[in-house]
Amino acid sequence: MTETGAVGAGGPMPPKPISKTQTHVTGLDEILHGGLPTGRTTLVNGGPGSGKTVFGLEFIYRAALDGEPGIFISFEEDADSIRRNGLSLGWDLPALEEAGMLRILDGQLDPAVIRSGDFDINGLLAILGGQATAMGAQNVVIDAIDGLLRISDDRRWEREQLEMLHRWLLERRLTALLTAKAFNAGDGGQTYEFMEYMVDCILKLDQRVDGQVSVRRLRIVKYRGSDFERNEFPFAISESGIVLVPISRPALDHAYSPEILSTGNDAMDELLGGGLVKSSITLLTGASGTGKTSLASTIAIEAHRRGQRVLYVQFEESRPAMVGRMLSAGIDLRPALESGLLRIEALMPETLGVEEHLIQLLHLMREHAAEVLIVDAVSATVRMHTDEAAYDFLVRLANACRPAGVTLLMTNQSGEIPSDAGIVTMISSLIDTVIRLEYREEEDLVHRTLLVLKSRGMRHSSRRHRFLITDHGIEIIDRPGDGAAGN
Amino acid sequence: MTAGNEGRLHPPADGAAEPYRLHLFVAGDETNSRRARENLARICKEYVHEPYQVEITDVLEDYEVALEMGIYVTPALLIEAPVPGAAVFGNLSDVNKVLNAMGLEESV
């Protein structure tokens, strides 16, 4: 007899999680918890130069590389400049176009066009629909949709057209990414607030000046039907595309007990609420001669004592000079060096550009299989090129270390760059722990103090502590437990 | 059509009337597209006394032509000849604008 059975006779289906399309943009899919909503519309919103076009292009390019054909149309730049932009990021867009995986459409409108009576954007829909069917495309990027809508001065018309476009995209089940200039621009620019209610997912890009450096950030404003990360994430446009730095969740999650690494100095550990968190990012900042290298060297020796592999990148002095100077301060790096666990590499910031330095540094990190990376001083990156490039360098370095479980310690020489705050402010959201070293001279006495400005997820001291650099290393003379020198 | 050329045409360099080549893009039978067809037919009948030819492309049927010409907005009228030509968006209800684009003026 034939088997009669329960096929299809189960209970009601459990709620189906929404399906997602990977963007393949470094770090973005993680914070989107998988990717963009498949068959739905995402809005990328940001001011001029905030990186909207690159975001859209990278998505369509990487998805095409991954076997998903896609269409890209820009109403701001002609197709050839889009192709050139791609090329400057190492993306061979014409090759994908020839393979039928990608189509870049020229959305340039004739500015001298004459208007006579009502019109609508059915032409765009016909072109997108026809092209999507012809190449089996599911992904569509419409860059600078406001550029198309600008042909009318009628806000109501613009809204109707956007609603029509959105309905059509949904009906066609296309995974669409629309970019538009920022709302609330305050410059009398386009305001498409209603789009916020319409679309399922919104990413906001922002480029602002912190200190004297322009810093890029991304935030997910909304994701209907999905969880997402709500922080602001710094990003850089590297030579191969966008790099987003996920803020480490373990360090922010209080239920998680992170692995704590000792600094090799009991008093210092106490101030930090235990020590440094594994795979966190620490910045040690202070003027020249405040003891940054001494403290960093102590941390390096302690890591070696634990059996960890340490790479110490020195931008300020040669290896022999550094080893000798530390020795006279009672900090002996030689055993760690001889064991092969500690490697000190002196690099000249002026000799190479930011890009070459980063590549070299990442190469050294992999070659040495470093578990702890110390960069002394990161302020040297500013000497490699511009502040902007230095920012990109740091974002990408952080991005390389954190997911690999590498604990990163950077020193920063304050006062080297025009604004003291410079590097500290521009990368503060990336950094878990900031320690500031200060000194002042009082008559013939040098008064050194140390302050833990922040340490994510740790119960750290929040006052200044005096310390000495003795012939046996760093000595904190008013430990938290001492009750000395109150608050 | 015959040349009732009453000085309305931009005279071509050689003095001979170059026929109008009009290319109308519509999206199926939606309202504006239907109006554009009607309005263009009326304009041609009432105002264009020079030779002309009209081509109509339905972008829903033939998106490739629209793609090639960059027609994202419909209805759209391309005046392909005489040069330099012009583009008019809309259902062509504003006759004067269409005539201006064609280098014609509404006769009194």
Tens of pLDDT along A145-161?
988 988 888 888 988 99
* Ramachandran bin of A96, using left for φ above 0, alpha for ψ from -120 to 50, beta for the remaining angles: alpha
Q: For A20-109+122-244, which CATH superfamily applies?
A: P-loop containing nucleotide triphosphate hydrolases (3.40.50.300)
| B71 contacts on A by Cβ (under 8 Å) | 123, 127
The answer, yes or no, to whether residue B96 has pLDDT greater than 60, is: yes
CB A89: neighbour CB atoms within 10 A? Answer: 17
Confidence of residue A189 (pLDDT cuts 50, 70, 90): very low
How many contacts, defined by CB atoms under 8 Å, are there between A and B? 107
Question: A480: which 2 tokens?
Answer: 């938290």
pLDDT band (50, 70, 90) for residue A98:
very high
Side chain identity at residue A193, one-letter code: E
Query: Could you tell me the maximum CA-CA distance found in chain B, to the nearest angstrom?
Result: 41
A145 in Cβ contact with B101 (< 8 Å):
no
The structural domains of chain B, with segments of one domain joined by +, span 20-101
Q: Can you give the three-state secondary structure of A439-474, one letter per residue?
A: EEEECCEEEEEEEEEEECCCCCCCCCEEEEEECCEE
User: Could you give the CA distance from residue A407 to residue A282 in angstroms, rounded to a whole number?
Assistant: 8
Q: Measure Cα distances from A50 to A17, A137, A181, A214, B107 in Å.
A: 32, 27, 9, 10, 52
CATH superfamily label, B20-101: Glutaredoxin (3.40.30.10)
Of A125, A130, A151, the CB nearest to B89: A151
What is the percent of chain A where pLDDT is above 70?
85
Looking at every residue in chain A, the average pLDDT score rounds to 84
Cβ pair A133, A105 in contact under 8 A: no
Please list every residue in chain A whose beta carbon sits closer than 8 Å to the beta carbon of residue B65.
none
Across the interface, do A118 and B91 touch by the CB < 8 Å criterion? yes
Q: Would you call A122 and B87 a contact, using CB atoms and an 8 Å cutoff?
A: no
| pLDDT of A15 | 56
A-chain residues near B91 (CB < 8 A): 116-119
Query: Taking 80 as the threshold, does the pLDDT of residue A249 lie above it?
Result: no
Q: Which residues does residue A470 pair with via DSSP β-bridges, in sequence order?
A: A473
Task: Please name the residues in contact with A26: beta carbons below 8 A apart, sequence gap of 6 or more.
Answer: A241, A242, A243, A244, A399
CB contact under 8 A, A126 and B30: no
Residue with tokens 């040297």: A380
Sign (positive/negative) of CA torsion A403, A404, A406, A412? negative
> Among candidates A310, A374, A372, A369, which has minimal Cα distance to A347?
A374
Q: With an 8 Å Cβ cutoff, are A122 and B70 in contact? A: no
Comparing A163-172, A435-444, B57-66, which segment has the lowest mean pLDDT? A435-444
Which pLDDT tens digit goes with each residue over B6-64? 334 444 445 456 788 999 999 999 999 999 999 999 999 999 888 899 999 999 999 99
Would you call B59 and A131 a contact, using CB atoms and an 8 Å cutoff? Answer: no
Q: Distance (Å) from the C-alpha of residue B34 to the closest C-alpha of chain A?
A: 11
Residue A106: list chain B partners with CB under 8 A.
Answer: 70
Chain B closest-CA separation from residue A183 CA (Å): 24
Give the SS3 label for residue A115.
strand
Cross-chain CB nearest to B74 (options A108, A114, A122): A122
Contact yes or no for B90 and A148 at CB 8 A: no
User: Å from B17 to nearest chain A CA?
Assistant: 24
Copy the structure tokens of residue B46.
């009432």
Residues of A in contact with B90 (CB under 8 A): 115-119
> Does 3.40.50.300 match the CATH number of domain A249-481?
yes
Query: Which residue, among A290, A447, A457, has the nearest Cα to A376 in the 3D structure?
Result: A290
The single-letter code of the amino acid at A264 is G
Asked if this assembly's ipTM is beyond 0.85, the reply is: no
The shortest CB-CB distance from A116 to any of B64, B71, B98 is to B98
Q: Out of B33, B39, B67, whose CB is closest to A131?
A: B67
Residues of each domain in chain A carrying CATH 3.40.50.300: 20-109+122-244, 249-481
> Which is more confidently placed, A187 or A263?
A263
Residue A405 falls in which region: left (phi positive, over 0), alpha (psi -120 to 50) or beta = left
Q: Which of A113, A125, A131 sits opposite B89 (nearest CB)?
A: A113
Residue A322 has what pLDDT? 95
